[in-house]
A = this chain, B = another copy of it.
Amino acid sequence: MRALTGVTTMDATLRYEVEDLYAAYVECLDSGELERWPEFFTDACLYKIIPLENFERGLPLALMLCESKGMLQDRVEALRRISVYAPRVLRHLVSGIRIRPAPPPSPEALRPSPSEDGKETGESAGVISVQASYAVFQTLVDEPTQVFNVGRYVDRVVREDGKLKFKEKLCVFDSVLVPGSLIYPL
């Protein structure tokens, strides 16, 4: 093997951390421990579930939209109160995680947020852009497992108190037809 160029041990170590973030994130969702879900995000954040077509055309319509950790917590509380949904098991597979130099922040991310105001030299400082493919399988009681939702995560990750957290998480899904309905976060 010839000399390796362009990859440092730090890259590999950061990749390890990012992969672990995604593994922990989907494990939280798949084990149904939704109360822990908001903890994967920064206080000021953007969480969106949007169809691919809307994402590509820049249309704002989303199936789920939360703009702060508080909104994510409200969402979980609402889910817990409204228990009309048939019990189901979700299983996420994530693949093809790509870490890139952070692009300019999206318009939504440009709003000043109390948690960072004045502490950072700039919005893009320390922001990691991450994309990954996901497939979610759903199992309803006494039914075979089926493909539920497939798409791509388009995320922005930052370090907060030494831990990686999502500042932005867009779940861009391929099919507008979802078996049953999309109740739980992706």
Contact indicator B147/A145 (Cβ below 8 Å): yes
Closest approach, in angstroms, between the C-beta of A92 and any C-beta of chain B? 7
> Which of the segments A57-65, A78-86, A109-117, A136-144 contacts the partner chain?
A136-144
Contact indicator B13/A4 (Cβ below 8 Å): yes
User: What's the number of copies of this chain in the assembled complex?
Assistant: 3
> Which of the segments A39-47, A67-75, A171-179 contacts the partner chain?
A171-179
Q: CA A85 – CA B11 in complex, angstroms?
A: 41
Query: What residue in chain B is nearest A9 (Cβ atoms)?
Result: B9
> Do A4 and B9 contact each other (CB < 8 Å), given the known contacts A30-B133, A137-B174, A150-B137?
no
Q: Is A52 an interface residue (CB 8 A)?
A: yes
Q: CA A145 – CA B178 in complex, angstroms?
A: 8
Partner of A162, one of B1, B5, B126: B5
List, in ascending order, chain B residues with CB within 8 A of A91's CB: 133, 135, 150-152, 174
Q: Is A183 an interface residue (CB 8 A)?
A: no
Closest approach, in angstroms, between the C-beta of A88 and any C-beta of chain B? 9
Contact indicator A11/B16 (Cβ below 8 Å): yes
List, in ascending order, chain B residues with CB within 8 A of A10's CB: 1, 4
Contact indicator A137/B147 (Cβ below 8 Å): yes
Instruction: Give 10 A-B contacts (CB < 8 Å), ordered by A residue.
Output: A4-B17, A12-B12, A20-B98, A23-B98, A27-B133, A52-B89, A91-B150, A91-B151, A144-B175, A145-B149
